[in-house]
Chains A and B, each alone.
Chain A
Amino acid sequence: MALRFDENDMKALEKIRERYPNNTACTLPFLHYAQDRFGYVSDDVIKLVAETLNLPVAHVLNVATFYTMFNKKPVGKYHLQVCTNISCSLLGARRLVDKLEEILGIKPGETTDDGMFTITEVECLGSCGTAPVIQVNETYFENLDEKKVEDLIESLRKGELDV
């Protein structure tokens, strides 16, 4: 079934549209909105955004694949984005990734079979003073170590955290 934005979506999108002088400028915010709404930026989402904005599919695809925050594949319920850039790495970000791999049995770029977790190594999240950091969906978890990562996964599994 083809995807579509419903009436509420359209209202929200129209509000976004008011901030810009043209449709093209809405590409990023619309993709953000669509990713929240549909989980990830599939080919159908790209077509839907293109259609809604009356822009070429090529343009939306070009943009959607350029930015790393747009997930072109489905991700788990909890998207564990581990910063492994310099400041986090100096303080053991690798150990966090290793720990996650050990607990979840997946490698970066993979999603657990139950669809709960995806691990991604990401570039600097601007959290260097509170390194190392993992961004779970939209929420930062900072000053982490291996023990805290275990606890974090535990809490996420129990659904105790709103991310």
Chain B
Amino acid sequence: MSEIVLFKHLIDPEVRNIENYIKLGGYEGLKKALSMNPDEIIEEVKRSNLRGRGGAGFPTGLKWSFMPKGEGQKYFVCNADEGEPGTFKDRYIMSENPHQLVEGMVIGGYAIGASVGYIYIRGEFEFVAKTVQKAIDEAYNQGFLGKNILDSGFDFDLYIHLGAGAYICGEETGLINSLEGKTGKPRLKPPFPAQYGVFGKPTTVNNVETIACVPDIIRRGADWFLTIGPDKNNGTKIFAVSGHVNNPGVFELPMGTPLREIIYEHAGGIIGGKKLKAVIPGGSSAPVLGPEHLDIPMDFDSLKKVGSMLGSGAIVVMSEDTCIVEAFTRLARFYAHESCGQCTPCREGTPWMYKIMKRIEDGNGKKGDVDLLLDICKNIMGRTICPLGDAAVLCIKGAIERFRDEFEYHIEHKKCMVDNKIPIF
């Protein structure tokens, strides 16, 4: 069995209760952190090579170090807006091992000098939020939250903020606006949240999984964390596997675990023993891979090398019975639906791409449609306020580049080249 950092419920199914969590070393990290000075904590997190688990893979310690020093209101915000198609990992940290997140929030808050934290949970996860709220209440009762935590003089309040159905709030400045009670339209950067974040104050936003790694990094030390996973990609990663696999689910494995092992061992292989056709390795925005990539180590740098990305670590598996055109048309609809509408290329480009793809899927595609799609991709890429436009492009362009023949077949024959598919539309 590999190292367990986050999924402590696999050791004790009742770890969501604070007593059980404490028995497994819970809140020891916080006690240790409060005996250190904040810069030492940031240094330790930097040394651990912890990188953002939300999708970008940005070094967490470095991000924390961007926060201004000294007095003044600052905020620590947890991004629990989990909405990237295929992603369902943070949900299980929060529902099964919520104290891991709460402890991480207090440590992070102390490190960056924030006295208030918010956990931004997507609105649909209200049932998850209830579990987290219970954990927060328990932490207050035990003196891990509130005034003068463990007699350290450090005050930290933690609140849950529920989203209301908008993928764009997963983008950190969209999330900040949403937390401020506005539409989740991303902000122009600069200024970055570390200078001008929630309510105009310096703010750090981290993903649930990222924050949940922190208590163990502090308790067991960066050196221990470095022993897990390949260099610069250390720690465990929760891989969320869905689609055409026998045993879909979440698996906490060392970073760098080969894709083949995840799909065929942990997720039980392809349904019906079918052949693998395509696999999205990191949530819908990560360019799709093929069977030739099965031996790739699942970490930030290895996936980057093959032109894709680890993203959220959400693996969507598609068997030979999948119509790629149809599957990606569905994703194109998703991006069009979730574009906030603020900036021109994404607002206009994403629905246009969806309409063209839908017409191809429906058998009404025109010669030149594929090139037109690629041209639209070019006109969106890098020209928008936030990465949603880029994400849509990576998703669609990735599919076209890998499966262009399938698109062309649809256009030429006005039908799908796959029999026995489960209809999506």
Physical contact A–B (CB less than 8 Å):
yes
Residues of A within 8 A of B (CB): 19-29, 31-32, 59, 62-63, 66-70, 84-87, 89-95, 122-131, 135, 138-140
In the complex, which of the residues A32, A94, A128 contacts B164, with contact meaning CB atoms closer than 8 Å? A32
- A139–B181 touching, CB < 8 Å: no
Give the residues from 188 to 202 in chain B that come closer than 8 angstroms, CB to CB, to chain A. Answer: 199
Nearest A-chain residue to B130, judged by Cβ:
A138
Cβ-based interface call for B318 (8 A): yes
- 1/0 per position for B229-254, CB-CB distance to A under 8 A? 00000000000111110001110000
- B82–A123 touching, CB < 8 Å: no
Chain A proximity of B321: nearest CB distance (Å)? 9
Cβ-based interface call for B161 (8 A): yes
Chain B proximity of A26: nearest CB distance (Å)? 6
- A90–B318 touching, CB < 8 Å: yes
In the complex, which of the residues B122, B180, B184 contacts A66, with contact meaning CB atoms closer than 8 Å? B184
Report the Cα distance A21→B183, complex, angstroms. Answer: 18
- A129–B330 touching, CB < 8 Å: no
Chain A proximity of B165: nearest CB distance (Å)? 4
Chain B proximity of A117: nearest CB distance (Å)? 19
- A19–B159 touching, CB < 8 Å: yes
Given A24-B181, A89-B424, residue A128 in contact with residue B162 (CB < 8 A): no
In the complex, which of the residues B165, B240, B243 contacts A67, with contact meaning CB atoms closer than 8 Å? B165
In the complex, which of the residues A26, A62, A69, A94 contacts B183, with contact meaning CB atoms closer than 8 Å? A62
- A28–B249 touching, CB < 8 Å: no
- B330–A85 touching, CB < 8 Å: yes
- B163–A128 touching, CB < 8 Å: no
- B83–A21 touching, CB < 8 Å: no
Report the Cα distance A95→B424, complex, angstroms. Answer: 9
Q: Given contact pairs A70-B164, A86-B280, A126-B83, enumerate 11 new A-B contacts (beta carbons under 8 Å).
A: A19-B161, A27-B182, A28-B181, A66-B340, A68-B166, A69-B165, A86-B86, A86-B316, A123-B85, A127-B91, A138-B126
- A91–B161 touching, CB < 8 Å: no
Neighbouring A residues of B167 by C-beta, 8 Å = 123-124
Neighbouring B residues of A85 by C-beta, 8 Å = 85, 330-331, 334
- A126–B88 touching, CB < 8 Å: yes
Neighbouring B residues of A89 by C-beta, 8 Å = 327, 330, 422, 424
- B199–A67 touching, CB < 8 Å: no
- B243–A68 touching, CB < 8 Å: no
Neighbouring A residues of B84 by C-beta, 8 Å = 124
Report the Cα distance A67→B169, complex, angstroms. Answer: 10
8 A-B interface contacts by CB (under 8 A):
A27-B182, A86-B330, A93-B424, A95-B423, A128-B86, A128-B316, A129-B240, A129-B248
Neighbouring A residues of B90 by C-beta, 8 Å = 126
- A126–B180 touching, CB < 8 Å: no
Given A86-B330, A129-B241, residue A22 in contact with residue B127 (CB < 8 A): no
In the complex, which of the residues A29, A123, A128 contacts B334, with contact meaning CB atoms closer than 8 Å? A123
Report the Cα distance A93→B318, complex, angstroms. Answer: 15
In the complex, which of the residues A87, A90, A123 contacts B83, with contact meaning CB atoms closer than 8 Å? A123
Given A19-B159, A68-B166, A69-B123, residue A86 in contact with residue B181 (CB < 8 A): no
Nearest A-chain residue to B157, judged by Cβ:
A19
**Nearest 7 A-B pairs (CB), nearest first?**
A128-B242, A67-B164, A68-B165, A27-B181, A69-B165, A87-B242, A66-B183
Give the residues from 382 to 425 in chain B that come closer than 8 angstroms, CB to CB, to chain A. Answer: 422-425
Nearest B-chain residue to A30, judged by Cβ:
B181
Q: Find the residue from B86, B199, B284 having the highest chain A CB count within 10 A.
A: B86
Q: Find the residue from B122, B124, B249 having the highest chain A CB count within 10 A.
A: B124
Neighbouring B residues of A123 by C-beta, 8 Å = 83, 85, 167, 334, 337-338
- B423–A94 touching, CB < 8 Å: yes
- A94–B182 touching, CB < 8 Å: no
Chain B proximity of A120: nearest CB distance (Å)? 10
Neighbouring A residues of B357 by C-beta, 8 Å = none
Cβ-based interface call for B213 (8 A): no
Chain B proximity of A37: nearest CB distance (Å)? 15
- B422–A95 touching, CB < 8 Å: yes
In the complex, which of the residues A26, A68, A129, A131 contacts B181, with contact meaning CB atoms closer than 8 Å? A26
Report the Cα distance A51→B314, complex, angstroms. Answer: 43
Neighbouring B residues of A31 by C-beta, 8 Å = 164
Chain A proximity of B94: nearest CB distance (Å)? 11
- A66–B166 touching, CB < 8 Å: yes
- A127–B88 touching, CB < 8 Å: yes
- B199–A25 touching, CB < 8 Å: yes
Report the Cα distance A29→B240, complex, angstroms. Answer: 30
Report the Cα distance A89→B162, complex, angstroms. Answer: 26
Chain A proximity of B82: nearest CB distance (Å)? 5
- A87–B91 touching, CB < 8 Å: no
Report the Cα distance A90→B340, complex, angstroms. Answer: 26
In the complex, which of the residues A23, A28, A94 contacts B162, with contact meaning CB atoms closer than 8 Å? A28
Cβ-based interface call for B105 (8 A): no
In the complex, which of the residues B163, B183, B248, B331 contacts A130, with contact meaning CB atoms closer than 8 Å? B248
Cβ-based interface call for B58 (8 A): no
- A28–B164 touching, CB < 8 Å: yes
Neighbouring A residues of B86 by C-beta, 8 Å = 86-87, 124, 128
In the complex, which of the residues B122, B242, B337 contacts A129, with contact meaning CB atoms closer than 8 Å? B242
Cβ-based interface call for B87 (8 A): yes
